[in-house]
Amino acid sequence: MIIRKAINKDIESIHSLVQELADFEKEPNAVKVTPSYYRKCFEEGIFQAIVAEDQNEIVGMALFYMCFSTWKGKMMYLEDFVVRNQYRNSGVGQKIWDELIIESKKQGSKLLKWQVLDWNINATRFYEKNGAIIEKDWWNGKIIF
């Protein structure tokens, strides 16, 4: 198992994992962008990713980007974190997570932030095991254009 920063050739696999996550989250039609759009954004530096590779196959990833907290400073935002079903509970997610923490600190981030669905108990337990604070008093807001 190799844990590394994503490169351009990983984009199709990253897109596939995002679709797998959308299916798991009961939103199979939510992914509206193509792998080519991902590639363009990746090349522009809009997002980064850490991947887990097993025998030349990407089996997990964390997709993230830098943003800003007016209270803390530079903040890494974890957009998606997914491990293929057959690799779950094998330590792959922990390895990706550990590398994400290292990379966030290396880039000067003061905190890492993400969302987790309230029904995803396994994910919540994973995050709490890793010292996360799960906020339950903030509501999400969004406008879709």
Other C-beta atoms closer than 10 Å to the C-beta of 105 total: 12
Name the residue ranges covered by the structural domains of the chain: 2-129
Q: What CA–CA distance (Å, rounded) separates 15 from 63?
A: 10
pLDDT at 143: 86
CATH of domain 2-129: 3.40.630.30
Helices 35-43 & 11-24 angle (0-180, nearest 10): 120
Using alpha carbons only, give the angle 95, 123, 113 rounded to the nearest 5 degrees.
Answer: 75
**What residues act catalytically?**
127
* C-alpha dist (Å) from residue 145 to 26, 29, 142: 22, 17, 10
pLDDT at 58: 98
Q: Give the model confidence (pLDDT) of 87-126 as tens digits.
A: 999 999 999 999 999 999 999 999 999 999 999 999 999 9
Whole-structure pTM value: 0.94
Q: Give the model confidence (pLDDT) of 33-84 as tens digits.
A: 999 999 999 999 999 999 999 999 999 999 999 999 999 999 999 999 999 9
Q: Residue 79: helix, strand or coil by DSSP?
A: strand
pLDDT at 21: 96
pLDDT at 122: 94
